Structure 1
Amino acid sequence: MSKEDFIQKDRLIKGIAKDGSLKISVVKTTNVVKAARKKHGLSLLNTVLLGRALTGTMLMASELKGEERLKMRVEGQGPVGLLVAEANRVGEIRGYVQNPRANLNYNGGDIDISDGLGVGVMTISKTLYNEAEPRNSSIELINGNITDDLAYYMVQSEQIPSAILLDVGIDKDGEITEAGGLMIQRMPDAPEGVIDQLQQKLLQFDSISQMLADDLYIDDIMEKAMDPINVKELDRQPVDFFCRCTRKRFKDALAMLGYEDLKEISDEGQELVCHYCNEHYNIRKDEIEELLRETKAKMN
């Protein structure tokens, strides 16, 4: 990897206004979205929707601690069906869609990307330290384009007015150019209406993908979004499409099955697939027979 490529890697930066009124996070997710598309064979529609979800999930996860995790689950009546994205504070992002090759018929009149999900529900789950169960909060989709829905979630469920941009750039050949996003959150002492002003400003903002394509990096985008407010960098970190699934984990999951269930599948090997990263794991027949013997021994 060249120095230039390293400098331009997918990363997230966090900053705060010097007067303490606003927080901002900016993330570049170009390679994350490209990896998701390649692993799952995503249609153009799903590339954009899952790409935005992966980006938005990482922005929210940047507010967590250590290896705490945040999951976005969006289920709609459109052709995409179910969409899931997950990220943790250390920058590991993964996700999938139920119908990866789903598309829309744009010859059918007034069709929009939000029709991919249609009427549905967004649920955000946070797995936090010292809490036995995840915290879940849901909203009805107000648009289905992920960006507006996430901003609405932040106000309704988190009570944090936020300006959000999520963007996956696609060229005329259907290839991903750049991807990324930003989230600006109002702090408790911020003046009323400041987020509304920022949202109006962002409506006139160049797209994140275009700014990245124009060689602006996350630092430049952070300063441009907050201008004329001075902003101080708090933190930065790499982000990657990364899944912690392993063959051993899948085999251990099989070992949790009861004796009768194992017996039913012991005649042949099993191919198990990770939803999140589409990795395939083959568990041999003799390994299942060994699990069967171990399970029987525990019963005696």
Structure 2
Amino acid sequence: MSLKEQFKFKDRLLKGIHTEGQFKISVVKTTEVIQTAKINHNLSLLNTVLLGRTLTASMLLASELKGEERIRLRLEGSGPVGMLVGEANRAGEIRGYSQNPHVELDYSRPDVTIGDGLGLGLLTVSKILYNEAEPRTSTIELAKGDVIADMAHYMVQSEQVLSAFLLDVALDSAGNVKQAGGLLIQRMPGAEESTMEKLQKTVSELPLISEMFEDGKYIDDVMELAAAPFKIKELDRQPVHFFCRCSPKRFKNALSMLSYDDLKEMEGESQEIVCHYCNRKLTIPKDEVHSIIESAKAKLN
């Protein structure tokens, strides 16, 4: 693929609204985002798919926010994956991690499903909004543990919005991300129920999003197919990427929040800190650790 084509088909979010105000629709391509997460965290096939769906879902929900307001999804279950966390903001920055990034399921068992990775558990959705001291948080039980059914269940139970949710991560024979993306359609207040029923039927009959991308279709094509026969007005389009705002300064600030007694035990040694979200590692030199310890000591006086 040429550089021009790569730019044309890069990861982006597209937002639209029905011209008569019956529903909103968002489509996102997250292929590069998920591949970056896979590489950063050295994800197993199972985790690549489950975390990929989680990251894609977080971006779709964040598309309804403003500026740098954020959505955080936390799926915690009894299965071997343990916990998944995905976070995205309206600016298109996506990040996340798996508690147990290397685990796999025993696919030789005839009854195994991808939902067994998370198993029974809870989905917590947190919205970090402007001018609100505390996040708005909703928690529900996992429906199937496959993220797709869990997010659809959340939209009905917590948001109480009739919607259609698609999440898709396809891998190639080497385990790399072939295509990834998602779709969210939400009913607007006062919309006719028959409109959503028609849309849900249309969406259920669509090919997989990864297949549409693989066939050369892009987010505009997916939106048009999903919304047919209704007309859509484009509201916004923007790039999305795996991005974490961790920095040496933030790492040092985190270290300085420890108690003086804890810091004293680090005297004379450099410290390696790892960001959960992006797996970035940073070493804080001995002299800087000493400076942080001295600052903590001064606060005791």
Return the TM-score normalized by structure 2.
0.97
Q: Matched residue of 2:193: which SS?
A: coil
Aligned to 1:166: 167
Q: Is the 8 A contact 2:163 2:184 kept in 1?
A: yes
Structure 1 residue 289, shift from structure 2 partner: 1.0
- Post-superposition shift, 1:226? 0.4
- 1:61 maps to 2:62: yes
Mapped partners of 1:170, 1:161: distance in 2 = 30
- How far apart in 2 are the matches of 1:185 and 1:243? 28
* Structure 1 residues 192-271: aligned runs within 5 Å: 192-271=193-272
Question: Match of 2:52?
Answer: 51
- Counterpart CA distance in 2 for 1:145 and 1:258 is 40
Q: Verify: 1:14 aligned to 2:12, yes or no.
A: no
In 1: Cα distance, 2:276 partner to 2:223 partner = 34
Q: How does 1:79-228 map to 2 (within 5 A)?
A: 79-228=80-229
Q: How far off its partner does 1:195 sit?
A: 2.5
Give the whole-Å Cα distance in 1 for the aligned partners of 2:245 and 2:173: 35
* TM-score normalised by L of structure 1: 0.98
The percentage of counterpart residues that share the same residue type is: 59
After superposition, the C-alpha distances for 1:121-172 in whole angstroms (9 at most, x for unaligned) are 0000000001000111011011111111101101110111110100001233
Q: Following the alignment from structure 1 to structure 2, what is the Cα–Cα distance between the partners of residues 299 and 276?
A: 33
Instruction: Note the C-alpha offset of 1:298.
Output: 2.4
User: Structure 1: how far apart are the matches of 2:209 and 2:135?
Assistant: 32
**What code does the residue aligned with 1:205 have?**
L
* Secondary structure at the counterpart of residue 159 of structure 1: coil
2:73 is aligned to 72
With 1-10 and 99-108 compared, the bigger mean Cα shift is at: 1-10
Corresponding residue for 1:34? Answer: 35
Partner of 2:299: 298
What displacement does 1:82 show?
A: 0.5
Distance in 2 between the 1:172 and 1:200 partners? 32
Secondary structure of 1:143 counterpart: coil
**Aligned-pair RMSD on alpha carbons?**
1.1
C-alpha distance in 2 between matches for 1:197 and 1:215: 26
Name structure 2 gaps, 5 residues minimum: none
Shift of 1:221: 0.7
**Unpaired runs of 5+ in structure 1?**
none
Residues of 2 paired with 1:151 and 1:183: CA distance? 10
Which digits, 9 at most, give the CA deviation of each residue in 1:165-210, with x for residues without a partner? 0000123343321100000000012112433332222222101011
Q: 1:120 to 1:196 in 2, by over 3 A?
A: farther
